Structure 1
Amino acid sequence: MGYHVVDSDEVEPDPDRPCTRRSLSDPAGLTQMAINRYTADPGEELPLAYHYHDDQEEAFYVLSGTLHVDTPEGTLEAGPNALLTVEPGSPQFAYNPADADEPVDVVAIGAPPSADDVHAYDP
């Protein structure tokens, strides 16, 4: 058996990201899902590009602020305590708009984890 308690504030942010991303899977000893904590100031993006996954399901739980997610069908908004989910094959681009009043703080979970399961999407 294995148990881990991870203080996400103590995990170093990933370099070269458009916002602050802390990768929590490795410190938590997880191999079957990817968990990241994002903090995006107004005008910052969460992903590196508008994208979709072949197999990965994603869930974004908003801790504070309002997350905006562009999709081919329009923009979704999720505020504090909301869960926004994205099914495989569904293009999405998450961000905090430049005119936002505050940062957005989000926990993102993806399963199964895979660096090879991401594809750029050009709307």
Structure 2
Amino acid sequence: METVNIDELENSVQPAARMCRLTDALGLTDVAVNYYELEPGDSFAFAYHSHELQEEVFYIQEGTATFETEDGDVELEAGELIRFGREELQRGWNYGDETVVALALGAPLEYGTQVTLRYCEHCDTKTDNSLDGVKEGDKSAVVARCTACGTETGRWYRGSMDGTVP
């Protein structure tokens, strides 16, 4: 048996105000579990994406989340869940005025190949992106780059959205 206090876990570098990885903290071997707090404008993910091997379920505990999908936007309120199958493109956002609190569960634990689509100004379309961790002095960041032309399409610091430093 393992117990975890979310308030004691480190906040990951994500496009969310708070994201705690619960998988290792709970000693999980077959399922990924992440805790999120999204302030207005925050997202669950760096890009519109899919996972080759993993299906995902999001449980919205507080607030209203909007998921961009291939079939259009889907809005979920507190108490609702959404499932995405393998290779199904999606990205969740907080477009509201209140904080979104949610759990994300993914199984199996491995993603396989991941597609990450972001808008590239240079290419003027959504393109596949690479995500790389970088160190900037005493700060850690994740940088997204268009794989077609190399243009930077996003940069995140711990607990912030594109380009802002808390």
Letter in 2 for 1:78: L
**What percentage of residue pairs aligned between the two structures are identical?**
33
Q: TM-score, normalised by structure 2?
A: 0.67
CA offset at residue 117 of structure 1? Answer: 3.5
Of 48, 51, 54, the match for 1:53: 51
In structure 2, the partner of 1:18 is 15
In structure 2, the partner of 1:84 is 82
RMSD after superposition: 1.4
Would you say the 8 A contact 1:60–1:108 is kept in 2?
A: yes
Of 79, 100, 105, the match for 1:104: 100
Of 31, 34, 45, the match for 1:33: 31
Q: TM-score, normalised by structure 1?
A: 0.90
Q: Give distance in 1, aligned partners of 2:12 and 2:113.
A: 19
Gaps of 5+ in 2: 118-125, 128-166
CA offset at residue 33 of structure 1? Answer: 0.8
Q: Note closer, same or farther for the CA distance 1:12–1:31 as it changes in structure 2 (3 Å cut).
A: same
Superposed CA deviations along residues 50-96 of structure 1, whole A, max 9, x for unmatched, are 10111101000011001110011100111111111101111001110
Larger Rg: 2
Structure with more strand by fraction: 2
Would you say the 8 A contact 1:56–1:117 is kept in 2?
A: no
Aligned length: 118
Superposed CA deviations along residues 10-42 of structure 1, whole A, max 9, x for unmatched, are 111113x11111000101000111100011000
Would you say the 8 A contact 2:68–2:90 is kept in 1?
A: yes
SS in 1 for 2:28: coil
Determine which structure has greater relative contact order: mean sequence separation of CA pairs < 8 Å that are 6+ residues apart, divided by chain length.
Answer: 1
CA offset at residue 115 of structure 1? Answer: 4.9
Q: Give distance in 1, aligned partners of 2:93 and 2:68.
A: 8
